[in-house]
Amino acid sequence: MIIPLYIIVAIICIYTFRHYWFTLNRLFGFQRHPYIDTDTAEWPPVTILVAAHNEEKVVANILGALMTVKYPPEKMLIIPVNDRSTDRTREIIDEFVERFPGRIQPFHRKEGKGGKAAALKDAMELVKTEVILIFDADYIPGAGLVKQLVAPFFDPEVGGVMGRVVPMNCGANLLTRLLDLERSGGYQVDQQARMNLRLVPQHGGTVAGVRLSALREIGGWNDASLTEDTDLTYRLLLHGWKTAYQNRSECYEEVPETWTVRIKQIMRWAKGHNQAMVTYAIRLALGRHRATLRERIDGTLLLGVYAIAPVTMIGWILALGVFYQGVAPLHGLIALFGITAYASVGNLAAFFEIAAAVRLDGNRQRVSLLPFLILGFSVSIFAVSHAAWSQLVGLVRKAEFHWDKTERFRKAT
Amino acid sequence: MSVLAVAALILMLLGMLAFPLIPSLTELHNQRDAKPLSVIQEHAGEIRHFASGFRNYISGLRPALQQCVATGTTAHGVLPDGCEYLILGKTVKFPEMKMRDKEPLCELVVLAGTLLKTPDNTTFAHEIYAGEDLVGGENCTYRAILGEKNIRLAPGTTVMRWVHSLGTFSTDHHCDLFGRVSSDRSIHLGVNTQFLRVNAPRIELGSLAIIDDRDNDAPVFGDTQSRIVHRLLVDGDYEIGPKEVVTGSVVSRGRLLIRSGAKIHGSVKSHHELTLETDVIVDGSVISASKMTIGNNCLLHGPIIAERQMAIAAGTRCGSSTQPTTISSPRIDIEEGVVVFGTLWAREYGRVVVNL
């Protein structure tokens, strides 16, 4: 019992160190924003895919916003990917097609496999440009965003691009405020630090882009994946393509306003991420491919982030077992020092990261909500562990994965 | 007694637990910082943003300016925000100004409807609007200038925030241009001029920058001996030979050296130092995650980005009149005789030098 516990403690310590490394890099390190100053260029033609499944509440907002972005209109084609919607999504899209002739080419998908990746895969028959941008329908891009997301593709090594997601409904309730903090930490610190350190910034599947030739090289969208973005990140990496993160390319999104929706969302993410871990972890860490050593290490750790929750829970159970067995690991005193040290430093790692992100964003008061994050973390740890468990059970029973769409809260306009 | 004691104990315990949460609960209740992070939806990084803002700011003074020009008079007044302004309807000697550190200081927003010549050694603490040409005096300091025609700044000039000219913009030697400098026609920067962000259809660096027939041309790749690589990814240093023609993009995870006369029909990138010798042609982008050195007479058509620093030698053309581009690096040294079409952006420090 003691050996597995040591292994779990070691894993948790590695992730703790990683949190601190990223945070300190963001606070004191060299910041890489190599493409953000590219404001004049011979801009390439771009296709913007807008994934929409029953999005009548929000789809008009994004199409309206895309019509006002500063990008040569003759070089930009918008393809709303209407994936088997049963609400007014199709009607709204067709209204826009009529209002803006030649600028929007709808893809109305009536049948086929469920899930965003499957819909995008089918829509690729309409894509003719080398640069593709992807947005979920609840996002509202600003005027300069398209150029900012296209600019990294001038780099011949870049296969994917990811912008920063900013919750627009963060003031709705405690949950949205906590998610706002988590997003800050995830993007402002985690993603940017990985960009700075030339590690593995993650493709998020929205406010994002992909190079068509790279996508073809890696075999297109993987419709068997629950999180096509994570899957894309790793396949690009294995083929020697970089994903660039643009921290200053910000875009508003809507975050879940109820815990039920949030739990569903995080469980889908966890399952998809774990699926990618099983598929790519060993190959990435030990296989022959084009990723660098630091990308191998960081990429493997990134694949494991959703596995940490169940691992932690197992660790708690083992620790209790060890305690009741009367075992004193490392002669008691060292263990006591270790626990004390971890309690004062390790537990704070994620909070430190988020506090640093809030500071970098220039906010002040919202950092006082930090203690409530324990609530968010607790819910996540159980939801993610439950997801991992149900995934294991599903694997044994050979059950198929189901893709759950995240519910929207915006009022239809 | 005992029940009360237990209740008191529980209350005290709850109070102690809640005490550290008081700031959290207060913020949760009062929502002082619950607005979304500010993302300016209309912001597109437009270099002329401040010039446009200033044009709107003084739009109310346009009738007065026209009247002063028509009557050849000057006028004083106060803008709605309390700033004093001076309208010059004819080319006159500047009025007496107060002195700061023995040098004249103009604390007025200046609007000129005719040719404006600013006196030497003067600091203009507010913006200047020039309806006609502006000819600057030596060693002047300007906060910002909006010119409807041409702007010519004398040696030793400093611009603190921005300049925008609808005509041509030129500086003599030893000027310091902080902030944004833009022109709708062309910009000429004298030697030993420092710059940060510069944008114009044509930017000439130093007096050796001349118009030539390469300015309007797309690169020609008539060579038949082209090596087709699609995308060549090299784990280490790499060299492209003299006069070698490569079709496709080259990415080196070490240093990349492109020998004289080589032609790349694609883009190049290196993780470490990137060196282009003389007469290299690249029709795509040129990117280095470290330092970049560009030799004489190169023709580069895509964006040019160096994450650490960059040096560009005389005779090189970046972009063309039909294909403008961006040069971007924290530190840029650019030799007299380089021409850039589009944007030249040094985040920390850019300088036009006589010799690299």
Chain segment B153-183, per-residue pLDDT in tens? 999 999 999 999 999 999 999 999 999 999 9
- Mean pLDDT, range A69-94, rounded to an integer: 95
Count interface pairs A-B at CB distance under 8 A. 144
- The complex scores an ipTM of 0.90
Q: CA angle, B290 as apex, A248 and B288 as ends, to 5°?
A: 75
Dist. CA A31–CA A87, nearest whole Å: 45
- Looking at the complex, report in whole angstroms how far the Cα of residue B342 sits from the nearest Cα belonging to chain A: 6
Contact (CB<8Å) B27/A180: no
Per-position pLDDT tens, chain B of length 356: 688 999 999 999 999 888 888 988 898 888 888 888 888 766 667 888 899 999 999 999 999 999 999 998 989 999 999 999 999 988 767 766 677 777 788 889 999 999 999 999 999 999 999 999 999 999 999 999 999 999 999 999 999 999 999 999 999 999 999 999 999 999 999 999 999 999 999 999 998 767 676 666 665 666 556 788 788 999 999 999 999 999 999 999 999 999 999 999 999 999 999 999 999 999 999 999 999 999 999 999 999 999 999 999 999 999 999 999 999 999 999 999 999 999 999 999 999 999 88
Mutate to test the interface with A, among B19, B27, B30, B37 (most CBs of A within 10 A): B37
Residues of A in contact with B325 (CB under 8 A): 40-42
At residue A239, the pLDDT reads: 95
Q: Do residues A369 and A362 lie in contact, with contact meaning Cβ atoms separated by under 8 Å?
A: no
Give residue-wise pLDDT tens across range A271-329: 999 999 999 999 999 999 999 999 999 999 999 999 999 998 898 898 888 888 877 66
Q: What is the pLDDT of residue A323?
A: 82
Side-chain half-sphere of A276: how many Cα atoms within 13 Å?
Answer: 31
Contact state of A38 with B37 under an 8 Å Cβ cutoff: no
Q: Which residue of A has its CA nearest to B290?
A: A34
- Residue A177 in contact with partner chain B when CB distance is under 8 A: yes
Which residue did the predictor score with more confidence, A152 or A316?
A: A152
Confidence at residue B218, expressed as pLDDT on a 0 to 100 scale: 61
Q: What is the mean pLDDT of chain A?
A: 91
What pLDDT score does B1 carry?
63
Q: Chain A: nearest CA to B200, how far in angstroms?
A: 10
Is A129 an 8 Å CB contact of chain B? no
- Using the beta-carbon criterion (under 8 Å), do B43 and A370 form an inter-chain contact? no
Asked if B34 is an interface residue toward chain A (Cβ–Cβ < 8 A), one would say yes
Chain A residue with minimum CA distance to B341? A40
Percent of chain B's residues with pLDDT above 70: 93
Residue numbers in B near A240 (CB within 8 A): 233
Q: Is the pLDDT at A256 greater than 70, yes or no?
A: yes
Inspect the interface and report whether the beta carbons of B326 and A140 lie closer than 8 Å: no
pLDDT at B241: 94
Q: Report the 10 Å Cβ neighbour count for B235.
A: 13
Cβ burial B332-345 (10 Å sphere, 16+ → b, else e): bbbbbbbbbbbbbb
B100 touches chain A (CB under 8 A): no
A39·B345 Cβ contact <8 A = yes
Cα–Cα distance between A70 and B49 in angstroms, integer?
Answer: 14
By CB atoms closer than 10 A (0-12, 13-18, 19+), residue B102 is exposed
- Which range has the worst mean pLDDT, A16-25, A394-403, B245-254? A394-403
Tens digits of residue pLDDT in B123-148? 999 999 999 999 999 999 999 999 99
A247 and B37 in contact (C-beta within 8 Å)? no
B249 touches chain A (CB under 8 A): yes
- Substitution target in A30, A38, A246 with the highest count of B β-carbons within 10 Å is A38
Taking CB atoms and an 8 Å limit, are B23 and A368 in contact across chains? yes
Query: How near does any CA of chain A get to the CA of B171, in Å?
Result: 23
User: B residues 80-99 near A, CB within 8 Å?
Assistant: none
A293 touches B at CB < 8 Å:
no
Q: How confident is the model at residue A234 (pLDDT cuts 50, 70, 90)?
A: very high
* Other CB atoms within 10 A of residue A18 CB: 20
Average of pLDDT values for A189-213?
96
The predicted structure's pLDDT at residue A165: 94
According to the model, what pLDDT value does residue B227 have? 80
> A86 in helix, strand or coil?
coil
A 254-273 near B (Cβ less than 8 A): none
